[in-house]
């Protein structure tokens, strides 16, 4: 299916290139390698979950007994389903290849006429229709295979999330300064801030056991500051309250914050010294925590206690073999990259490259005639000015997390050496093998948590950079479309947006084309065969723009009405948009009609404004918390998300 796209006539080159992309996609998907990869990934995920579960039970976690049932059920179903899918893949491959071979005559006819746009149009349309139908059928086949294991995959994913949280809680308990009483077992733990509505709200971990509710302060506090910058700190760890569950008079969940996304629990104690406390929990649902506390207080939590020693990895994998030893060696080698946080470090390097190319990308767009959105230069300068601070904060966090992970890595190396030293007696080696598997699974969970901690340092900033990069890609697409259009922009005109759109003409066949918006006109160009500009209306002749599709429609549709002076064949033109961007287009048309884009020509950012952003505070002067959200252009103050203190910029 070699399509000679390089010699295609300019009038059909865009459609030919699109067809070439579709053909390449079909070739890549026709071997169903993604399905095979899914099977391998699910194999690894299931084994990891089994290791996490066994490890959690081995560390003494007694609750959520349903996890064994979920794990056993998933493994039992998976053994059957995996077999079925593996056997079905070859038949699907043969069917897909046969369909692709049947497409060859269409490609050959197109290649024969590809230099002649008028002759090739019919062949191009036929090839596109056939390729699209094959793509649809291929998607249906993929969906059919995935449907066999989607439920298992979802069950395992949810179980993995639960176990990751449990392992974090167990690790916190290991590091805690208090000990559990006889007969006392951990139910759950969560990062927490005791909201005292004062300047010194302590942060730490809230623990729930089957007997007590405990809050242990665990945070680094500044011991020395120079001009509000922390130069020295120490870890403060102390139990601030430890109350029997019988003293919890009432408990309720609350949602606070600007958008109600901050989870709080309000606990009222019979101890008059505590009274009513507001506890801000982080990363878990406050309603779930209220349920846990109520079940623990009533004793119903004991219904969730596991009755046995937990899932046995050997029950599911059989006798230990030399192949198992080779596999665990490979697993150890793979986890080394995770424990070195290589992915997150690569992500930081990619983000730095993206930041450094923003100004160049915008300069290229300006050179090609994109003259509106004067704030873009300033937005880039503001983001660039903050990068060194963001990078330094993230790299410092990486270094700290690596120190913690390296300790676990040393333990894993010792465990692997002991296991390999027992390779001559595989029966005796099994306990060490299972122990090492569990340790590796626990280490993976810790590495994931470490990555999340680093990501918190820069994810909001990265979102802003990604949004700009994506916007530039859309502008580039618009400029490419304009460069191949049958019309030219006016000398003082700048493109604003473009999208593929079908003109739904009453009583006539729909026409495929591109809808353009500039700062002066609305245009629609027929892109089938010979390009033809069929609508070119000055903005002042547009009387109305509205969405005509509802929430159930497959595609967004908009209707644009014109006054009597407009040189168009209809009073109202209705367009079906290729993407769900109706709201965006209505807003842009409204701005264009109001003249906003005419006054939005590119200008330079004032140097004083840029310097103000560079010198913005990096941490709260009151509680020392780092400010991780990016400073936006024109922003005058920063509110600490932890203590609420407002810092002026």
Mean pLDDT of 591-610: 73
Long-range own/partner contacts, residues 359-367 (CB < 8 A, 24 or more apart): 359/384, 361/469, 361/472, 362/472, 365/472, 365/475, 365/476, 365/479, 366/602
Q: What is 495-593's CATH topology? A: PH-domain like (2.30.29)
pLDDT in tens, 262-303: 788 999 999 888 899 989 998 888 899 999 999 999 999 998
Which of 81-85, 321-325, 481-485, 565-569 comes out lowest in average pLDDT? 565-569
Confidence of residue 309 (pLDDT cuts 50, 70, 90): very low
Q: Assess whether pLDDT exceeds 90 at residue 78.
A: no
Q: Assess whether pLDDT exceeds 80 at residue 230.
A: no
DSSP codes joined into one string, 371-417: ---THHHHHHHHHHHHHHHHHHHHHHHHHHHHHHHHHHHHHHHHHHH
Write down the pTM of the prediction.
Answer: 0.53
Q: Mean pLDDT score of the chain, rounded to an integer?
A: 87
Domains 176-304 and 495-593 share a fold: yes
pLDDT in tens, 546-555: 999 887 788 9
Helix (H) or strand (E) holding 329: helix 322-339
CATH, domain range 176-304: 2.30.29.30
pLDDT in tens, 403-439: 888 888 998 999 999 999 998 888 788 778 877 877 7
Mean pLDDT of 305-328: 68
Mean pLDDT of 522-544: 94
The tokens of 633 are what? 């252009």
Close Cβ partners of 376 (under 8 Å, ≥ 6 residues apart): 362, 468, 602
Helix (H) or strand (E) holding 216: strand 212-226
Q: Give ∠ CA 538-520-489 in degrees, rounded to 5.
A: 100
Structural domain boundaries of the chain? Answer: 5-160, 176-304, 319-467, 495-593
Mean pLDDT of 503-513: 92
Close Cβ partners of 550 (under 8 Å, ≥ 6 residues apart): none
Q: Assess whether pLDDT exceeds 50 at residue 315.
A: no
Mean pLDDT of 78-83: 84
Which of 5-19, 66-80, 306-320, 567-581 comes out lowest in average pLDDT? 306-320
Confidence of residue 308 (pLDDT cuts 50, 70, 90): low
């Amino acid at each position: 299916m070699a399509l000679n796209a390089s010699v295609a006539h300019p009038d059909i080159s865009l459609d030919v290139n699109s067809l070439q992309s579709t053909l390449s996609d079909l070739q890549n998907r026709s071997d169903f390698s993604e399905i095979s990869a899914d099977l391998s990934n699910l194999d690894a995920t299931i084994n990891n979950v089994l290791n996490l579960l066994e490890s959690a039970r081995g560390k003494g976690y007694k609750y959520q007994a349903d996890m064994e049932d979920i794990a056993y059920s998933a493994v039992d179903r998976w053994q059957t389903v995996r077999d079925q899918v593996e056997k079905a893949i070859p038949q699907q491959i043969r069917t897909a290849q046969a369909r692709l071979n049947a497409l060859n005559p269409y490609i050959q006819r197109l290649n024969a006429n590809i230099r002649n746009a008028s002759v090739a149009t019919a062949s191009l349309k036929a090839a596109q229709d056939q390729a699209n139908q094959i793509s649809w059928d291929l998607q249906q086949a993929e969906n059919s295979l995935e449907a066999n294991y989607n439920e298992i995959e979802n069950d395992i994913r949810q179980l993995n999330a639960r176990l990751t949280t449990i392992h974090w809680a167990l690790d916190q308990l290991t590091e805690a300064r208090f000990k559990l009483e006889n007969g006392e077992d951990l139910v759950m733990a969560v990062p927490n801030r005791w909201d005292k509505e004062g300047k010194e709200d302590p942060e730490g971990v809230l623990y729930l056991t089957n007997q007590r509710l405990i809050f242990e302060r665990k945070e680094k506090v500044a011991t020395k500051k120079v001009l509000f910058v922390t130069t020295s700190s120490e870890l403060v760890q102390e139990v601030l309250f430890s109350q029997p569950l019988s003293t919890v008079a009432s408990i309720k969940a609350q949602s606070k914050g600007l958008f109600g996304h901050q989870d709080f629990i309000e606990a009222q104690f019979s101890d008059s010294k505590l009274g009513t406390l507001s506890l801000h929990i982080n990363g878990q649902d406050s309603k779930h925590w209220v349920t846990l506390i109520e079940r623990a207080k009533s004793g119903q939590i004991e219904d969730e206690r596991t009755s046995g020693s937990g899932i046995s990895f050997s029950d599911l994998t059989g006798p230990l073999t030399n192949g198992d030893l080779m596999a665990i060696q490979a697993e150890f080698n793979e986890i080394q990259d995770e424990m070195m946080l290589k992915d997150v470090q690569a992500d930081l390097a990619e983000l730095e490259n993206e930041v450094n190319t923003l100004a160049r990308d915008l300069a290229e767009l300006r050179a090609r005639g994109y003259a509106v959105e004067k704030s873009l230069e300033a937005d880039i300068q503001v983001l660039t000015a903050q990068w060194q601070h963001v990078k330094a904060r993230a790299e410092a966090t990486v270094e700290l997390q690596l120190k913690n992970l390296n300790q676990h890595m040393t333990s894993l190396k010792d465990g692997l050496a002991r296991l390999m030293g027992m390779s001559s007696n595989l029966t005796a080696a099994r306990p060490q093998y299972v122990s090492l598997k569990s340790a590796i699974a626990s280490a993976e969970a810790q590495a994931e948590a470490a990555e999340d901690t680093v990501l918190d340092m820069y994810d909001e900033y990265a979102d802003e950079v990604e949004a700009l990069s994506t916007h530039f890609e859309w502008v580039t697409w618009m400029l490419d479309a304009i460069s191949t259009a049958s019309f030219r922009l006016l000398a003082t005109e700048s493109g604003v947006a473009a999208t593929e759109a079908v003109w739904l003409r009453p009583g006539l066949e729909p026409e495929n084309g591109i809808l353009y918006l500039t700062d002066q006109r609305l245009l629609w160009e027929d892109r089938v065969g010979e390009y033809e500009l069929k609508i070119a209306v000055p903005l002042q002749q547009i009387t109305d723009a509205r969405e005509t599709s509802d929430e159930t429609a497959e595609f967004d549709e908009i209707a644009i009405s014109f006054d009597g002076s407009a040189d168009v064949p209809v009073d109202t033109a209705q367009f079906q948009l290729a993407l769900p961007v109706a709201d965006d287009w209505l807003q842009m048309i409204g701005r264009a009609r109001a003249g906003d884009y005419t006054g939005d020509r590119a200008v330079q950012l004032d140097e004083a404004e840029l310097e103000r952003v560079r010198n913005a505070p990096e941490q709260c002067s009151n509680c020392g918390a780092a400010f991780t959200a990016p400073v936006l252009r024109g922003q005058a103050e920063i509110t600490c998300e932890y203590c609420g203190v407002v810092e002026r910029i």
